[in-house]
Chains A and B, each alone.
Chain A
Amino acid sequence: MKTRLPIARNASLISCHSCHLLCKGPKKYVVSTMKCPRCGAILHSRKPNSIARTWALILAAAIFYVPANVLPITTVISFGKAQSDTIMSGVIYFIATGLWPIALVIFVASVFVPLVKLTILTFLLISVQRKSTWHQKDRTRLYRFTEIVGRWSMVDVYVVTILVALVNLGSIATIQAGPGAVFFAAVVVITMFAAMSFDPRLIWDVKEDTNE
């Protein structure tokens, strides 16, 4: 038989999410507006509506991911001729010119990372909702991983920003940012909020419930 591990929530204690001070909280599951006596952050034992919020943000990001990849991120206008590029056409251009390391960087950051992040968060949500006790430590690691990698997807948005600033030579050559870039930035920002709204403690809560 397993011994029951001491969990802050069961002891009516709340760890401040900002400064990690252990505070005396109200009875469990009570939504409150108590503030941390040290740093003033609002205390909650678990992030509020974590599962519903994360699902909503993941769905929004998944929807935006489609126009982000289909619509042009840049349009080059040179001597009256216009040429639009999507993320994939940029990757293909770099492969064609032999710069495959750059192609790989863009592909991983822009196409692969957002997909991986959405997949991992979906997997974590489903496993939490099914009260799974499968590999909890590894799932917590996966969560940490999504928090770290998400930001690198911004790279294409920055490339667009720099191109737009540099290639601004009137009728000779001008680059305009396309709607794809807007959707793309939205995907990155929304998935960051999704990762922030997911509470990794939910992965471990299951164990306590089954032991009770």
Chain B
Amino acid sequence: MNAPILMACHECDLLQTIQPLMGKASAKCYRCEAVLHRRKPGSLERTLAFTLAGLILFALAVSFPFLSFKIGAQIQQTTLITGVKVLFEQGLAGLATVVLLTTILAPMLQLLGLLYVLLPLKLGRPAYKLPLVFRWTHTLQPWSMMEVFMLGILVSMVKLMKMAQIIPGISVYAFLALIFVLAAASASLDPHAVWERWENHR
């Protein structure tokens, strides 16, 4: 952002001119105090790095054992997807779909979308249909609820503690790390910078 730009606040529709921001700074609406723009230096590179780390962790989280349940000599091992599968088998397809979407599909698509948008942009060749993909990545964000799922894991572990021994697998740890990485990726993303760079290449 080199010249002052005219913007409307997305929460109260007030028109205002935003001066170019330097370094780490943010501009707030002077009427309702919504954040209009937050500049993040090195946003593209940072977000790309977190996205790549996130994809690796995601691969670990879906392929390794999740929680195991040990009662006497019997061990019940699960993966991330087992719960969804069992819900389907119990005839609760709608519930299974909601869980699948919010804990697995949305975070995965979000990470893939960011990679698809950011990597080619970084290399100076904007991806095909970038606006569409970037817009959908934005739309999916509220539906990605991994941090809530993590709280669910903790609560269920406590709940079953008295009944049997619960052994967390590699997947749980990968999942835990993924929450922080995903949060860091969305915190370091500066959508304005992405749009600006894309417009410059157009």
Q: Decide: B139 and A161 in contact? CB cutoff 8 A.
A: no
Q: Decide: B7 and A20 in contact? CB cutoff 8 A.
A: yes
Q: Is B142 an interface residue (CB 8 A)?
A: yes
Q: Decide: A8 and B8 in contact? CB cutoff 8 A.
A: yes
Q: Decide: A164 and B135 in contact? CB cutoff 8 A.
A: no
How distant is A184 from chain B, measured CB to nearest CB, in Å? 9
Partner of B102, one of A15, A39, A154, A159: A154
Report how far A157 CA is from B98 CA in the complex, Å: 10
Chain A, range 51-105, C-beta contacts under 8 Å to B = 94, 97, 99, 102, 105
Q: Is B45 an interface residue (CB 8 A)?
A: no
The B interface, classified by DSSP as helix, strand, loop or mixed, is: helix
The A interface, classified by DSSP as helix, strand, loop or mixed, is: helix
Q: Decide: B67 and A182 in contact? CB cutoff 8 A.
A: no
Known: A15-B8, A155-B151, A169-B76. Contact between A164 and B87, CB under 8 A?
A: yes
- Which A residues touch B82, using CB under 8 A? 165
Q: Decide: A40 and B95 in contact? CB cutoff 8 A.
A: no
Partner of A22, one of B8, B33, B85: B8
Binary contact readout B54-77 vs A (1 if CB under 8 angstroms, 0 otherwise): 000000000000010101001010
- Which B residues touch A156, using CB under 8 A? 152
How distant is B169 from chain A, measured CB to nearest CB, in Å? 12
Binary contact readout B151-164 vs A (1 if CB under 8 angstroms, 0 otherwise): 11101101110110
Q: Decide: A158 and B103 in contact? CB cutoff 8 A.
A: yes
Known: A21-B195, A172-B74. Contact between A162 and B145, CB under 8 A?
A: no
How distant is B148 from chain A, measured CB to nearest CB, in Å? 5
Please tell me which stretch of B10-18, B107-115, B118-126 contacts chain A, meaning at least 4 of its Cβ atoms lie within 8 angstroms of it: B10-18
- Please report the total number of A residues contacting B with Cβ < 8 Å: 66
- Which B residues touch A99, using CB under 8 A? 158
- Which A residues touch B34, using CB under 8 A? 140, 144
Partner of B95, one of A45, A157, A204: A157
Q: Decide: A161 and B99 in contact? CB cutoff 8 A.
A: yes
Chain A residue nearest to B81 in the complex (CB): A165
CB-based A-B contact count at 8 angstroms: 185
Report how far A176 CA is from B89 CA in the complex, Å: 10
How distant is A90 from chain B, measured CB to nearest CB, in Å? 8
Report how far A7 CA is from B12 CA in the complex, Å: 8
- Residue in B16, B95, B145, B191 with the greatest tally of chain A CB atoms within 10 Å: B95
- Which B residues touch A18, using CB under 8 A? 135, 138-139
Q: A140-B32, A154-B102, A192-B142 are in contact. List 4 more A-B contacts (CB 8 A).
A: A20-B10, A22-B8, A38-B195, A161-B99
Name 21 A/B residue pairs within 8 A (Cβ), A-sorted: A8-B15, A19-B195, A38-B199, A94-B159, A144-B34, A156-B152, A157-B98, A159-B155, A163-B159, A163-B160, A164-B86, A164-B87, A165-B85, A166-B67, A167-B160, A167-B163, A172-B71, A177-B87, A181-B92, A189-B98, A192-B142
B-to-A contact residues, CB < 8 Å: 6-16, 31-34, 36, 67, 69, 71, 74, 76, 78, 82-87, 90, 92, 94-95, 98-99, 102-103, 131-132, 134-135, 138-139, 142, 145, 148-149, 151-153, 155-156, 158-160, 162-163, 166, 191-192, 195, 199
A-to-B contact residues, CB < 8 Å: 5-9, 11, 13-15, 17-22, 38-41, 45, 94, 97, 99, 102, 105-106, 109, 136-137, 140, 143-144, 147, 151-152, 154-159, 161-169, 172-173, 176-177, 181-182, 185-186, 189, 192, 196, 200-201, 203-205
